[in-house]
Chains A and B, each alone.
Chain A
Amino acid sequence: MRHLVFLLPALLLLLALPDTRGRYNDDFDDGEDIAEFDDNDFAEFEDVSEDPAVDVEKEPPPRAAPSSTPIEDDEDEATVENEDGQDEFEDADAQDQDMYSKYDNEEFEGYEKTNPSFKNTLIYREVPAHLQNSWESYYMEILMVTGLLAYIMNYIIGKNKNSRLAQAWFNSHRELLESNFALVGDDGTSKEATSTGKLNQENEHIYNLWCSGRVCCEGMLIQLKFLKRQDLLNVLARMMRPACDQVQVKVTLNDEDMDTFVFAVGSRKAMARLQKEMQDLSEFCGDKPKSGAKYGVPESLSILSEMGEVTDGVMDNKMVHYLTSHADKIESIHFSDQFSGPKVMQEEGQPLKLPETKKTLLFTFNVPGMGNTSPKDMDSLLPLMNMVIYSIDKVKKLRLNREGKQKADRNRARVEENFLKQTHTQRQEAAQTRREEKKRAEKERIMNEEDPDRQRRLEEAAQRREQKKLEKKQMKMKQIKVKAM
């Protein structure tokens, strides 16, 4: 009986398919009726008329699936869902199944092939990681932040260590410095020259101390060049290439405090490097560094000197004793009256002027420990500071004999001549450009002059000057010719 009830309307619909929708909309004013029709009786059949293909496809799977469920049970949830779907279909549309049982299985043989593809087209989107509510997906960020925290920790620890080392050095050397210098510690900013009594922090790893007010010298600048313990990158780099903290002492002298000589002693590596780098050592100490063994100093140290007399003069017993007992801590010692710093590389080639020189004593000491220094190690540098003070007094007393002095003067004259020769062409060019600039400036002035009278007068003056110059040149040429003859 139920079949008949649904068959009749179905036939009607099928016959009048194109017009049904429109007619329903136009003819039936009663909304309830429409609703009734849509929901209860004709809904499924409307779906059939609208999408015959989809419905036909939907129905065979429920029929085909029961036969193939045992096989597809192992596969993904698609099969499960379909089965659920099937159940829904079966529950809600039992009538449909009964209806379609009229169809042959043979009619849907082809559709089985489409079944797997239908199931496989179900795509499972991954939930984006930031919506997953798990911190684990952000592991790279956590790593980065951890790295930053490690860097900050290392910065604080390294800064404190360097600060402690500097303070330890100053505490152990304070007495010696204060007994030798009237001014200990000055940053150059205060109005009056009073001892600040503390180190000047330039950096997290460099500390300065300026001492002045002593006989035999102008002043002494001590630089504590520690390793960059506050920079984690540097710490890691030092694990590959060990380095050590250094103490650099630079004593500047007045003209009367030192005679004219250039001398250096230090580790072999340092001497080789300084000979190449330093302006004065490369010019005055041309020979290869000599081994220190000749003068009673350990093999590890080598000597660069302007002349033998200088070496003999500097290397007296006390100095040799100092060098021998602290050879491991000495990187380089450099006495020079022509000190101008390392060679400056300029783009134009040679600098036009001789660099300014200052009488200087330079000491570079290595702090023992090779990076793993403790504040106690700073005490071991105290004898080296004693050596510095001793050297200052010694250099004041060291005077070359007549021969030595002549040799030294000749050396300096030679160096200056060489320099002038090398820069001759460049100086000429520079003079030429200067002259041209002057001329151009004059011409411009004349052109800019508004008053025609003044313009004329200036032009005439310029012409007269040119004439005079030419005449002078001609006279000179004549003189040279006469002399040549």
Chain B
Amino acid sequence: MTVNNMADPRRPNKIFRYKPPNTETNPTLEDPTPDYMNLLGMVFSMCGLMLKLKWCAWIAVYCSFISFANSRSSEDTKQMMSSFMLSISAVVMSYLQNPQPMSPPW
């Protein structure tokens, strides 16, 4: 009884639909990490492929993983997959060209 005395605050006639916030007008809201990591990954994999540096290729793999972990669900999976494949191919090519193991920098 007491529950019915309190007016029900719900108003089905006053429903507004959800509008995703416009990130163009407010770029500070967006997290730039996945984009940076994507770019970095591509740069490192190109370096690894061109200059035949194994450590570059490995860092590229890490970058693409980090980018994937931080990505938004609305983002294109194709972009993720392409950067991932590029970094894996950089690693594979470096080892095919020079099967010697990587030497540590120290």
Contact = CB atoms under 8 A, between A and B. Distances in A.
Contacts of B104: 140
Nearest to A213: B15
A147 B62 contact: yes
A117 B56 CA distance: 44
A201 interface: yes
B65 A151 contact: yes
A86 interface: no
B101 A129 contact: yes
B85 to A, nearest CB: 15
Given A180-B9, A215-B11, A230 B69 contact: yes
Interface in A119-162: 128-130, 137-141, 144, 147-148, 151-152, 155
Interface string A178-193: 0111110011100001
A186 B74 CA distance: 16
Contact of B69 (A129, A155, A193): A155
Contacts of B74: 202
**Most A CB within 10 A of own CB, among B102, B103, B104:** B102
Interface string B1-24: 000000001111111111110000
A344 interface: yes
Main secondary structure of the interface of B (DSSP, over half): loop
Q: Is the interface of A mostly helix, strand, loop or mixed?
A: mixed
A180 B69 CA distance: 36
A141 B25 CA distance: 45
Interface residues of B, number: 32
A140 B101 contact: yes
A214 B18 contact: no
B66 interface: yes
Interface residues of A, number: 46
Interface of A: 128-130, 137-141, 144, 147-148, 151-152, 155, 179-183, 186-188, 193, 200-204, 210, 212-216, 218-219, 221, 228, 230-233, 341-342, 344, 393
Interface of B: 9-20, 25-26, 28, 58, 61-62, 65-66, 69-74, 99-104
Given A152-B65, A202-B74, 20 more contacts: A128-B100, A137-B101, A138-B101, A140-B101, A140-B103, A187-B18, A188-B19, A193-B17, A200-B18, A213-B13, A213-B14, A214-B11, A214-B14, A215-B11, A218-B14, A228-B69, A341-B26, A342-B28, A344-B26, A393-B9
